[in-house]
Structure 1
Amino acid sequence: MVLIPEGPFIMGSRGNGGDEGILGVDVGVDQLPQREVFLKTFYIDKYEVTVREYKEFAKATGHPLPGLLTGEMPEKKIPLTPPLEKGERGGFRQKEWAEAVKYPPIEDDFPINDVPYMDAESYCKWAGKRLPTEEEWEKAARGTDGRLYPWGNDKKIGKANTIEWSKEKVAAVAVGSFPTDVSPYGVYDMAGNIMEWTSSWYEAYPGSKLKRPQFGKKYKVMKGGAWMGPMTPFARASHRYAAGGTERNHHPHFGMRCAKD
């Protein structure tokens, strides 16, 4: 694990400045207003939890393995992109996982994925840890200077495992495969590979006047870019994604890393 020292950091976004990416929508509106947050010292996993580690947990506890490891197919189709808010516009064709892609192969040194929130929470508890809060995750990813990405403000394709880096292979890869996708503290794969659960509910930022039906005690915040998402805007450290924290379904890009005090 990596120590993240006590102190303040800059959380959130100043807005996208017209840089909408392929979505054609300012998805950063829920990251406003940018603010300074003080955190106590904590530890966070250097890498995402791997398939090998999760198998050890399942063997020790009898916990079921994710469907992607057992070959179980989803009972219902999964949107390739999250639904947009009313008035927002999408920049690419909507598809569904069951029709658009095959599930990626998974090796033991790949990040575990297709993990619902309740299972991610159970794994971290078994490991003597916990899920990080949204604030902890973001500080571990961007440091204290407000940078956009773990490595800085350069959004050059190929620095992280996002959908653009290779037309030949669009899938998760072994943890630590992208040496450029590393934070100021030495934490890897926080801009790409898979999205990661946090323990935080999806709420409006303090001082925000934004209202969304997703806000409340239904959705958890996920952080980080993924192999199936674009660099801009999903790989930004401030990016937030709301996912069901009380339901069980299949998502081939949902995984986690753990933290502890």
Structure 2
Amino acid sequence: MRRAGPAIFAVLLGCAARGSRDGADTGPRDARSNDAPPALVPPAQPPARPLAGPTAPAVEDACGGSLPKMACIPGGPFLRGSDDGPKNERPRATVEVDAFLMDTTEVTVEAFEACVTARNCKPVHTIYSDFSRPRQPKVGVSWYDARDYCVAMGKHLPTEAEWEKAARGVDGRRYPWGDAPATCELAIIMDARGRSCGVAKEGAKPETGRTFEVASRAPNEYGLYDMSGNAWEWVADWYSASYEACGDSCSGKNPKGLCAGAASCPRSTTRIVRGGSWYWEADHATTTFRSHHLPGNEPYHHYGFRCAASLDEAAKLTAGR
């Protein structure tokens, strides 16, 4: 697979940059432009999508700059998991990640199709036209499709720890906006009106619903959109029944989950998805909720993704590798 073309500009990067409620996770039911690598911009220029909240200047200072359509997530320890949710979220404990950058939105249909046109990604056809508009998140992708796209962009699928760090913000929020429960004013979820906030899929029963365009709701403190709702997001890790069961593989610094995310894992058959979606209720949209699915599955309604970039990956992009 060919990589997308290199970026040219330089930057100084200053940071080293449902399941059931008893924990027996069943996962979602249904099955079947982040453009080419962006140029880095100097620290003096604003990010392509402004960071939100009172901590935004501190975040920018921590990274010394930004990538268009990406936000910097400062490194350091954070509290991951919850002792109040399903068993698979337990225990709540401190882990640490290095600084990294995260796409501000889920990868869109137009961005994915650009990768296909460039012959860097294989085609993934969406069954319903309601899910095929340019600025909707690209859904119907397998874990492998998501991984391959990110690699083609010179990036990677975020680890589960990276994803949760980015979703929770600087103060460990239950939802990207705070601790208030998810509503349709805050996220694209299922509510009393039905799936996708009562917006029906064309030519179908009203309860079916669809995704919305990315960034249709406000971002979190890091400037990330749709970390709750809209599309489930694949992450790199193999699924474990709990962090405790995962053991050292889910602990410490830069945890990568069972088998360190290797191509195969004798201890697991499913990969993790995060963030909830338009199809599921508010309790799936917390920053700690964990679900999972077979990595080769392509559920046409639900699964999308976004990419992350380590500082080394960002440097390689600028060096033309």
Aligned mates of 2:242, 2:297 — CA distance in 1: 27
Secondary structure of 2:117's match? helix
Partner of 1:150 in structure 2? 176
Aligned mates of 1:135, 1:209 — CA distance in 2: 13
Aligned mates of 1:156, 1:133 — CA distance in 2: 24
Q: Are 2:237 and 1:219 equivalent residues in the alignment?
A: no
Partner of 2:116 in structure 1? 58
Partner of 1:166 in structure 2? 197
Aligned mates of 2:135, 2:246 — CA distance in 1: 43
**1:195-242 deviations in Å (ceiling 9; x for gaps):** 0010111024443499xxx993311111111011111x2100101111
Q: Are 2:228 and 1:191 equivalent residues in the alignment?
A: yes
Q: Are 2:46 and 1:9 equivalent residues in the alignment?
A: no
Query: How many Å apart are 1:162 and its aligned residue?
Result: 0.3
TM-score by length of 1: 0.75
Partner of 1:256 in structure 2? 305
Aligned mates of 2:182, 2:150 — CA distance in 1: 33
Query: How many Å apart are 1:167 and its aligned residue?
Result: 2.0
Identity %: 33
Query: How many Å apart are 1:62 and its aligned residue?
Result: 6.3
Q: Using a 3 Å threshold, how does the CA distance of structure 1 residues 54 and 204 change in structure 2: closer, same or farther?
A: same
Secondary structure of 1:30's match? helix
Aligned mates of 2:110, 2:74 — CA distance in 1: 29
Aligned mates of 1:156, 1:254 — CA distance in 2: 19
- What runs of 5+ residues in structure 1 fail to find an aligned partner? 17-27, 72-101
Q: Using a 3 Å threshold, how does the CA distance of structure 1 residues 209 and 118 change in structure 2: closer, same or farther?
A: closer
Aligned mates of 1:184, 1:129 — CA distance in 2: 22
- What runs of 5+ residues in structure 2 fail to find an aligned partner? 1-69, 201-208, 248-264, 311-321
Q: Using a 3 Å threshold, how does the CA distance of structure 1 residues 109 and 239 change in structure 2: closer, same or farther?
A: same
Partner of 1:43 in structure 2? 101
Aligned residues between the structures:
211
Larger Rg: 1 or 2? 2
Further displaced range: 233-242 or 158-167:
158-167
RMSD of aligned residue pairs (Cα, Å):
2.2
Query: How many Å apart are 1:250 and its aligned residue?
Result: 3.1
8 Å Cα contact 1:129-1:260 kept in structure 2:
yes
TM-score by length of 2: 0.62
Q: Using a 3 Å threshold, how does the CA distance of structure 1 residues 254 and 168 change in structure 2: closer, same or farther?
A: closer
Query: How many Å apart are 1:252 and its aligned residue?
Result: 1.5
Aligned mates of 1:251, 1:215 — CA distance in 2: 28
Aligned mates of 1:62, 1:46 — CA distance in 2: 22
Aligned mates of 1:209, 1:14 — CA distance in 2: 16
Aligned mates of 2:243, 2:120 — CA distance in 1: 41
